[in-house]
C-alpha cells in the first residue's frame, strides 16, 4: 500500500466575541465560504438551493455510509466496495475504544459542549475515532482526488483534546480510497494551538459576513456547471 508522508494550550488566541447569538461554523462551511460567500449562504445558511453534487458526491456518501455500517455492526462491505476491505480491517485491528461518525462540539473557550448547546461554536464529525489512554486516532475517509488540507484534521484533533483531557497525542490520517493510500499527521496540544493563530482570522471573516449579512458572489470555475444558485448573476458564466 502506498503511504504519503508528507486543559488548553496557554498561548492559544481567544475567539472573538459572538456577533450574533447562536452563530456557529464547521469546516465545510468555512471551505464553502472561501470558495464563494454567496453560494455558501444560499446553500448552507438560507437553504434556498440544494447542492445535488452529482455522481461523485452520491458515490462518496454511499461509501461513507457503507464503511460506517461495516465498522459499527462488524459486517462485510457491499460487493462493489470490497476493494476497501484493507482499510476496514486495519481499523478493526486497532486498540482502544472505537467510535464511528462521532459528533463533537466546542465553545468559544475551546471547551467541550453539546452538539446543539446554546454555546456551541464549532461542530465536527469524526468518520473513525479510536481512543487509547493518552493517544487517539482519527481516520477521515476520502473518495475524491488527493487534496491535502491539514486544517480539517487539526480541527478534529482540537475537538478530541477538548473532550478528553487525558489525551497527549492525536494521530490523524486522510485515507484516499481511490488511490489506496493515506496522508498521516501527528498533533500535540501545542501544535493545535499554534494553528489557530492564522485560522481565527479566516473564521472571523466568515462571522463578520454573518453579522453584516454580506455574502457577495465570487466568480470561479465552479459557476459554469457545478453551482445550484441560479439567482446568481455569474451562474453558468464562470471561468473555464
pLDDT digits (tens, 9 = 90+) for 1-45: 333 333 333 345 556 544 445 899 999 999 999 999 999 999 999
Q: Does residue 239 register a pLDDT over 80?
A: no
CATH class held by domain 25-223? alpha beta
pTM value > 0.85? yes
| SS3 assignment, position 197 | helix
* Backbone phi, psi, residue 132, to 5°: -140, 90
* Backbone phi, psi, residue 211, to 5°: -65, -45
Asked if 179 and 2 count as a contact pair (C-beta separation under 8 A), the reply is: yes
Q: What is the Cα Rg of the chain in Å?
A: 19
Element (H, E) at 220: none
Question: Which residue ranges make up each domain of the chain?
Answer: 25-223
pLDDT in tens, 144-192: 999 878 899 999 999 999 999 999 999 999 999 999 999 999 999 999 9
Amino acid at each position: 500500500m502506498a503511504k504519503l508522508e508528507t486543559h488548553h494550550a496557554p498561548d492559544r488566541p481567544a475567539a472573538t466575541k459572538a456577533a450574533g447569538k447562536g452563530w456557529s461554523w464547521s469546516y465545510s462551511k468555512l471551505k464553502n465560504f472561501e470558495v464563494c460567500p454567496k453560494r455558501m449562504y444560499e446553500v448552507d445558511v438560507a437553504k434556498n438551493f440544494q447542492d445535488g453534487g452529482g455522481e461523485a458526491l452520491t458515490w462518496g456518501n454511499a461509501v461513507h455510509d457503507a464503511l460506517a455500517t461495516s465498522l459499527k455492526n462488524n459486517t462485510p462491505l457491499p460487493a462493489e466496495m470490497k476493494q476497501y476491505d484493507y482499510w476496514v480491517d486495519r481499523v478493526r485491528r486497532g486498540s482502544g475504544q472505537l467510535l464511528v461518525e462521532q459528533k463533537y462540539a466546542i465553545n468559544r473557550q475551546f471547551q467541550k459542549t453539546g452538539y446543539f448547546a446554546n454555546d456551541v461554536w464549532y461542530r465536527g464529525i469524526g468518520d473513525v475515532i479510536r481512543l487509547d489512554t493518552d493517544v487517539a486516532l482519527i481516520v477521515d475517509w476520502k473518495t475524491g482526488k488527493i487534496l491535502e488540507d491539514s486544517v480539517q484534521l487539526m480541527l478534529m484533533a482540537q475537538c478530541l483534546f477538548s473532550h478528553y483531557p487525558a489525551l497527549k497525542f492525536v494521530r490523524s490520517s486522510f485515507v484516499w480510497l481511490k488511490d489506496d493510500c493515506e496522508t498521516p499527521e501527528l498533533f500535540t496540544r501545542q501544535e493545535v494551538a499554534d494553528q489557530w493563530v492564522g485560522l481565527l482570522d479566516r473564521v472571523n471573516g466568515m462571522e463578520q459576513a454573518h453579522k453584516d449579512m454580506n455574502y457577495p458572489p465570487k466568480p470561479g470555475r465552479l459557476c459554469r456547471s457545478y453551482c445550484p444558485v441560479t439567482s446568481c448573476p455569474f451562474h453558468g458564466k464562470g471561468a473555464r
